[in-house]
Each structure stands twice: as structure tokens, then as C-alpha cells.
Structure 1
Amino acid sequence: MNTTNRRGFLEALGRVSMGAAASVAGAAHAGGAAHAAGAAAETGPKWGMVVDLRKCIGCQACTVACIMENDVPEGAFRTHVSVYEVLQDGGDPAMVMLPRLCNHCENPPCVPVCPVDATFKVEGTGEVLVDASRCVGCAYCVQACPYDARFINHETQVADKCTFCYHRTAVGLLPACVETCVGGARNFGDLNDADSEVSRMLAENPVSVLRPEMHTNPNVYYIGLDEALQGRVAGEAAYRPPLNLPADHV
């Protein structure tokens, strides 16, 4: 992670009130205390991620870091990099990387379908979290997510997903996937701060989101995303079968 991005992240974190930070710290792994944080962060940064696909090499360091940091069970992922083989007409195939995670949407469809209010959105900072103490494992939210970013944890029997490493950002650390991205493809920061690295990246580059037709207003943006891959979000394997596209799509 570059120094500028880290410095901007820490400056944004410093604008969170002590009360809000304490509430977030108590939500380390989306347990019962996390739900109270939903109304605690009414001021401060709004977190988002910009993924620069021009820099992603598909090394899966982010996937491994997330698994280790969040104790993700075998066979499941909170984040991973899908790898597609895009075939040009009459040309050589090209490998295309697509890092995927929960999009922490402004209008998350997973929230209203939860019958016990276990899934909620933190006011202000914007993370979408799961209160494990309330979740009954019905999987309604898993089915509602248009990004295939949720799963039922077979060890805890409750819904699980990326949290933007809520427990890390509360104490001034970057999400584990961002910290370990060797190419600097993952960038995390305050979308409300016009001077933050992520805001500058959004201002200076054409960006895309996955499944724009769903109108969820995601807070995960992509630079260099091929139009043909915007809807390629199904499944959890790290490799995808070849995708045949016209030559001008690569």
C-alpha cells in the first residue's frame, strides 16, 4: 500500500469521534456489540474501495490475507480474485483479473430481507455488517445479494461476508486485503474527503461498478473493468472458464 493512501486513511480515521471509535472497536468480529455501532458513527469518514485492475496480477495474496485475518472456514471466501480467460476473435487469449468482495452498497438489498434485523448498515462510515448474535442462518441475505458476496459459515451457521475489516479500521489499520496487495491494486479510504487517494482516483479515472443495473450504489469501484465482466459475479472459485468476446472487448 502506498504511503499517501495510508496517510490519508489515518487522517480520515482521526476525524471519527472517540465515542464512535469505541463502538466500532467493540464490533471486532460482527458480534452482538456491532449492532449498536449502526447508530454510533453519524459523523466522520465514509469508507470505500477503488480497485485498479491495471495493477492486479491475480496473486491471491488478498484472498489468503483475508482468510487468515478473519478466520474464514475452508471452502469459503470473504474476498477473492476471479480469473477469466478472454478470447479474442482470431487472437490470443488474455487473462483478466476481477477482485471481488462485498460492495457495501448505499442501498443494500440484503438489509430489508433480513427477518431478524441481523444485517445492517453503519450510519456514516457505510459498512454493511452482520450481527452474528441475531442471525438465524436463514440465508435470505445470501440470496438477495447481487454480487454473490455472502455465504453461510458452516462453522458458525450464520451469514458471513467482507466487513472492510471493521475491527482493523477502528484502530487505524487498513483492511487486510489492502495491506497485503503487492501491486497496489486495492485502495481504501474516505470517499467524503476530496483529497483522499480514493477520491482522487475516482476523479481522475473512468470507473465502473459491478451489476450497475441493480441500482445498489456500491462503494467498491473498478478502474479498467471490461464492460463484458460487469455481470460476471456468480460462484466462488478463483478460476473461470474461457469467455468468448469480440476482439474489441480486450
Structure 2
Amino acid sequence: MGSETEGASVARRLGFVIDTTTCYGCQACVLACKIENNVADNVRWNNLLTDGGDSPNTPSGTYPDTLHRLYYPVACQHCENPACVKVCPVGATFKDPETGAVRQDYDKCIGCRMCMSACPYNGVRSFNWEEPKYSIDHKVGGKGVPEHQKHVVEKCTMCYHRLARGEEPACVNACKIYARHWGDLNDPQSEVSQLLASRPHEQLLPERGTNPSVYYLV
């Protein structure tokens, strides 16, 4: 007689691996996220940060010395040990057991913004103080994107509506130089696991103990 765990499925931990040696800052992932999720004006769920000069999109160094610039697309890190989930008093911020994605339930959110305070990754969440406003007079966004609401916290959802259809996140689909990779970090045979096994990489703020599901190849 087999054990109770024999044949049991292993939970997925979906995540991103981003190649900083390939990314050249085209912002296709930034725009794809905004359009796919119908993100309101003046809000970004995915930001492109520059490791180089003191302002965005600038290199370090002084001509004619060697210049250095790396791009880091930064959104919700979908942490394995998310600080935001621990502090949410109503369960509006939760970790999806099937995918490992950290999600938001807008209908439960009471706007306390404790998740924003607890998250060590500044700027990956936004709060809708007013009804979301848009530059165009008709809705965009993929099928299944939830309606944006006033007085709730929002962030990257890992395009959960696309995951439900077996599709990859919009930012990955939009990256035509293949700097963004996505898959199951718990599967040693997945592309993301193979990349991490063969290339030097880093996570953001590993000392905070959140174990982000976003890795950067360096």
C-alpha cells in the first residue's frame, strides 16, 4: 500500500528571472503591464530602475572613463515569506496556494495600507485615493482583469487572470529580447531553475528574509 503522499502534487512557486545583462531599458514590460491591467494614469505596477547614475536611465562614471549602467525592472516581488500578508488585518493580501503569487482582494481591502508599510520594496504598491482616472475614454485591459476601485491598495498580480488561462504574464510576453523569464522555481527542470543553476544571480534585499520570487541574473 502506497504512502499518503505518494503521487501528491508539489505546490508551484511561480516567479521571474530577469537578465540584467540583456535588458536595455526599452520599457516594453512597463507598458505591457499598464495596458494589460488597465492601470490608471500616474500609476505603475512595474518600474524600471537604473543601477548607475543618480537619476533614471543614466550611467555611472565620467567620460572618457568606462561607463556602467544596469536596468532593474522592479514590481511586487511575490515573496515566499511575504511581510505584507502577515500584517493585513482582513486577509485582503494573501498568498495564492496554487501559484505562490501574492494577490490582493479589492473587495476585502479596507485601505489601511499596512501592507505598504510592511513591504520592504518601496514603490511596488499604490493606493487609490480617488476613483481611478484614465487618459482615454474606453477601458483597456485583458479579459478577467478586476475593476479598479477607490480606497484600495494595488500592485502587480503576476497577471493572475492570464495564469488562470494557462498564459504567461504580459510583461514576459512583451519582452522581445528574452530578458524576462518566468516559470516554476520549485521545478528543477524549468527554464528559470536551470538559469539560476547556471548563472550568477541576486535578489533584492535578501537580508529582510522575504525570499523574493524575482531573481536578477548579473
Bin of the TM-score, shorter chain as denominator length:
0.7 to 0.9
The structure 2 residue matched to 1:55, chosen from 11, 22, 30, is 22
- Find the counterpart in structure 2 of residue 186 from structure 1: 180
The structure 2 residue matched to 1:88, chosen from 44, 51, 61, is 61
**Contact residue 84 and residue 116 of structure 2 kept, 8 A:** yes
Q: Which has the higher helix share?
A: 1
- TM-score relative to the length of structure 1: 0.69
Identity %: 45
1:215 correspondence with 2:188:
no
- TM-score relative to the length of structure 2: 0.79
- Following the alignment from structure 1 to structure 2, what is the Cα–Cα distance between the partners of residues 49 and 170? 17
- Following the alignment from structure 1 to structure 2, what is the Cα–Cα distance between the partners of residues 93 and 207? 21
- 1:62 deviates by 0.4
1:147 correspondence with 2:121:
yes
- Following the alignment from structure 1 to structure 2, what is the Cα–Cα distance between the partners of residues 126 and 164? 10
Alignment coverage as a number of residue pairs = 183
- Find the counterpart in structure 2 of residue 122 from structure 1: 96
- 1:175 deviates by 0.2
The Cα offsets for residues 142-177 of structure 1, whole Å up to 9 and x where unpaired, read as 111111211113422211011111110111111000
Q: Which amino acid aligns with 1:153?
A: N
- Find the counterpart in structure 1 of residue 32 from structure 2: 65
Residues 108/44 of structure 1: CA separation in 2 closer, same or farther (3 Å cut): closer
The structure 1 residue matched to 2:73, chosen from 82, 88, 99, is 99
Structure 1: gaps of 5 or more residues? 1-41, 225-250
Q: Which amino acid aligns with 1:201?
A: L
- Following the alignment from structure 1 to structure 2, what is the Cα–Cα distance between the partners of residues 140 and 93? 40
- Find the counterpart in structure 2 of residue 112 from structure 1: 86
1:220-235 map, 5 Å: 220-224=214-218
Q: Which amino acid aligns with 2:71?
A: M
Structure 2: gaps of 5 or more residues? 1-8, 54-58, 133-148
**Contact residue 19 and residue 179 of structure 2 kept, 8 A:** yes
The structure 1 residue matched to 2:44, chosen from 55, 59, 77, is 77
